[in-house]
Amino acid sequence: MPGRLAGVRQYEDVAYKRLSPNMRAALGLGVIAWGGIGMYVSDRIEERYEAPAEDKAVVEKYTPRVITIDRRQ
C-alpha cells in the first residue's frame, strides 16, 4: 500500500506546482489569514462562553502538577 499513497502525495505536489506563482502566493496568504482569524475568533468565543465551575474543577483535578526539588540540601 505505501506505493499507492506515495502516488497520491505526488499528485498533490504536481497540482500545487501547476498553479501560477500569484495564485500560490494568494493561497498561502489565504491559509495564513484563515489561521489568524481562527485564533482571534476562538479567543473571543472562549471569553464569551466560559466553562461552568464544575467542568473547571474536573480539569483542575487532572492537570499535572510540577514540584521542584532543591538538590543542594
Query: What pTM was computed for the model?
Result: 0.51
Ordered DSSP codes for 7-72 = HHHHHHHHHHHTS-HHHHHHHHHHHHHHHHHHHHHHHHHHHHSPPPHHHHHHHHHHS-------TT
Task: Please report where in the chains the cell 492537570 appears, as a residue.
Answer: 63
- Indicate the domain borders of the chain: 2-62
* pLDDT tens track for 2-19: 555 555 666 667 887 888
Sequence-ordered list of residues with C-beta below 8 angstroms from that of 59, at least 6 positions apart, any chain: 51
* pLDDT tens track for 44-61: 998 898 888 999 999 999
